[in-house]
Amino acid sequence: MSKDDYRLSAEQVHEFENQGYVYLNGYVPATTLTEVRGTISRWASNYAAEFNHDKFVVSSGPDLFDAGLVALRNENNEGAGRLYDAIKKMPPFMQWAIAQRHVETARTLLRSSDIGVASRGWGMRIDYPDNKHATQLHQDFVSQLCGPRAIVIWAPLRDVTAEMGPVVLFPGSHLEGVFPIQAMGVQSEDLIIRDESLLRNRFSHFAPEVKAGDAVVMDLMLLHESGNNLSHLPRWSMLTRLFDAGDSRSVRIGWRGGIQEGNVYSDSLLTEMG
């Protein structure tokens, strides 16, 4: 078995297809966690020192790896934002984002041999306890496009407890396709779902606690939103998205991506997909 092998059971595939998500234990290699955390810590320490802030001890542990970034944000929010954008470019994360393990997981869950990686559909999120940039109820498809059969892999860098605000999932909502959007714009936060309160009452919700090293894989059509971080620590997560490139609807729209490629979702897209 190669280092990228991760076998899903028939029960896990069934759960994904019916619930719209599946929890994968031990999905992220320990070496990846160490490398990503260590690089974040090193870049944050160097950046803080360059701008006459304290130099922090470099750590790949779950408690201290982001200490430099948090301290920098308290003094220089703009600088912390620049560092946050730069962190997404580091090789250990990029190698994880396009790992063969994800391709094989997508092939299994989407039952397709032709898998594409959503262009710039990978990223890293940090949700501070102030919850200023929490995402609203949404479906990733309307911002990512590429195709209606797709997955997003969500993996935290530290344990996400109930207090830290795990992602809130609405099981089964993926089975109903795209929900109408009442407002559109060039940013993901502009894509507001119509009748949000009705959907909240219609579907039950679930917020799984997720251990660092584990992952939650969601259907791109699944309704979900950020949980409220009530802890004193930032909530970190790595994300990557893959789609069924062989699906005829994906082919009809030329596999084009969403906002990250300059394409804004519109109702006519559904007609184009057929």
- CA pair distance 138, 115, nearest whole angstrom: 23
Q: Is the pTM of this model over 0.85?
A: yes
Classify domain 10-273 by CATH number.
Answer: 2.60.120.620
- Going by C-alpha positions, the residue among 55, 42, 57, 101 that lies closest to residue 238 is 101
Dig out the tokens for 16 from the structure. 């994904």
Residues 6 or more apart whose Cβ sits within 8 Å of residue 209: 159, 160, 161, 162, 166
- CA pair distance 28, 217, nearest whole angstrom: 12
Dihedral over Cα of 133, 138, 142, 147: its sign: positive
Question: Could you say which residues of the chain have pLDDT below 70?
Answer: 1-3, 183-189
Q: What are phi and psi of 227, to 5 degrees?
A: -85, 165
Give the count of beta carbons closer than 10 Å to the beta carbon of residue 120: 15
- CA pair distance 122, 88, nearest whole angstrom: 9
Query: Per residue in 194-248, pLDDT tens?
Result: 888 899 999 999 999 999 999 999 999 999 999 999 999 999 999 999 999 999 9
Position 219 scores a pLDDT of 98
Question: Which SS3 state, helix, strand or coil, does residue 241 take?
Answer: strand
Position 1 scores a pLDDT of 43
Query: Per residue in 48-66, pLDDT tens?
Result: 888 777 788 899 999 999 9
Question: Which SS3 state, helix, strand or coil, does residue 60 take?
Answer: coil
Q: Can you give the residue ranges of every domain in the chain?
A: 10-273
- Going by C-alpha positions, the residue among 156, 133, 134 that lies closest to residue 216 is 156
Position 117 scores a pLDDT of 96
Q: What are phi and psi of 116, to 5 degrees?
A: -115, 155
Residues 6 or more apart whose Cβ sits within 8 Å of residue 117: 97, 98, 102, 103, 240, 241, 242
Q: What are phi and psi of 188, to 5 degrees?
A: -60, -30
- CA pair distance 209, 225, nearest whole angstrom: 14
- Please tell me what DSSP assigns to residue 61: S
Dig out the tokens for 188 from the structure. 């993901």
- Please tell me what DSSP assigns to residue 274: -
